[in-house]
Amino acid sequence: MTVPALQTKELFKSFGSFVATNGVDLTVAAGGRHALIGPNGAGKTTLINLLTGFLSATSGEIFLDGKDITALPQHQRVKRGLARTFQINRLFADMTVLESVAMAVGERRGFGARFWRPIGRFGDVLDEAAQLIERLKLTDVATRRTRDLAYGKQRLIEIALALAAQPRVLLLDEPAAGVPTSESRELFDTLAQLPADVTVLLIEHDMDLVFRFADRISVLVGGAVLLEGTPDMVATDPLVREVYLGEAQDV
Ligand code: ADP
Ligand code: MG
């Protein structure tokens, strides 16, 4: 059996007396396109925060490529190939797409962010940045400032910045949040075309997008996994329909 890219065993997280993560066993296959769904307050973001190390687990274990990372701080997990997106900060907002991505590539290669200007001399950094930009279909806006771009494009830049670290596992918490429907499909189509060796675990509310993208879905309810299965299994499960899909249809 191949080693899962990411796995949790009996993972718990309490905030005081409130149990936000209630014994989660999650298995994300290497190269998987795995979606985490569930009603508001189900504990999806908390679970992602436990995986990245932003929050520490109350008990249980987390494995990355079969290695126990439960006790590792965030930056060590990043070093081992676990990446998440962050909102573009103001520094990036004033830079062009190419500058931003080149800086992230340069940082991974050990150039400090302060030395951005000399980086321009290193053609291979720019080449790698240009390739990433092309992969995320941002080539036509590469020389524009990120703050001037549509929100959907900005989310793609955030994903490009995360990919600059060359992660094996990418975690995305509602990548299409705030993105107009007209752009969200394009965003997900681009995500679907990421290299197969990058494992993706994402949270998404829009069921159309989830079913287009995911090959595996975990349904989280009340901090626990109600069901894990293929999109077909999840779509036809009566309990899921009652707890989650039924609710979504009422909105
Ligand atoms: P989801 O992302 O599925 O909507 P969250 O993981 O954000 O859910 O939250 C799950 C539950 O945990 C919610 O009831 C939320 O209020 C609670 N929670 C999340 N973070 C904290 C915190 N830092 N302190 C106390 N309660 C929290
Ligand atoms: Mg959330």
Cα 98 to ligand 2 centroid, rounded to whole Å: 30
Is residue 215 located within the same domain as residue 248?
yes
Torsion of the alpha carbons at 213, 232, 32 and 207, rounded to the nearest 10:
30
Band (pLDDT 50/70/90 cuts) for residue 251 is: very low
Ligand nearest to the CA of 173: 2
Closest atom of ligand 1 to 46 CA is 6
Q: Where is pLDDT greater, at 27 or 93?
A: 27
Asked if residue 90 has pLDDT above 80, the reply is no
Residue nearest to atom 13 of ligand 1 (CA): 41
Ligand nearest to the CA of 38: 1
Write the pLDDT tens digit of every residue in 3-30. 999 999 999 999 999 999 999 999 999 9
Band (pLDDT 50/70/90 cuts) for residue 128 is: very high
Is residue 49 located within the same domain as residue 7?
yes
Write the pLDDT tens digit of every residue in 187-237. 898 888 898 899 999 999 888 899 889 999 999 999 999 999 999 999 888
Is residue 21 located within the same domain as residue 73?
yes
* pLDDT value, residue 250: 44
Closest atom of ligand 1 to 18 CA is 26
Ligand 1 pocket: which of 15, 17, 44 to mutate (most atoms within 8 A of CB) = 15
Cα 43 to ligand 1 centroid, rounded to whole Å: 6
Is residue 77 located within the same domain as residue 15?
yes
* pLDDT value, residue 113: 54
Domain boundary among 140, 165, 190: 165
Is residue 98 located within the same domain as residue 77?
no
- Give the number of C-alpha atoms closer than 13 A to the C-alpha of residue 130, restricted to the C-beta side: 8
Distance CA 195, CA 155 (A): 18
Domain that holds residue 126: 91-165
Beta bridge partners of 63: 7, 68
Ligand nearest to the CA of 44: 1
Asked if residue 248 has pLDDT above 60, the reply is no
- Residue ranges around ligand 1 (CB below 6 Å): 15, 18, 20, 38, 40-46
Residue nearest to atom 14 of ligand 1 (CA): 41
CB distance 85 to 162 below 8 Å: yes
Write the pLDDT tens digit of every residue in 138-178. 999 999 999 999 988 999 999 999 999 899 999 999 988 88
User: pTM of the prediction?
Assistant: 0.90
Cα 67 to ligand 1 centroid, rounded to whole Å: 27
* pLDDT value, residue 208: 87
State how far the alpha carbon of 104 is from the alpha carbons of 100, 132, 159, 163, 166, in Å. Answer: 6, 11, 11, 9, 10
Is residue 50 located within the same domain as residue 14?
yes
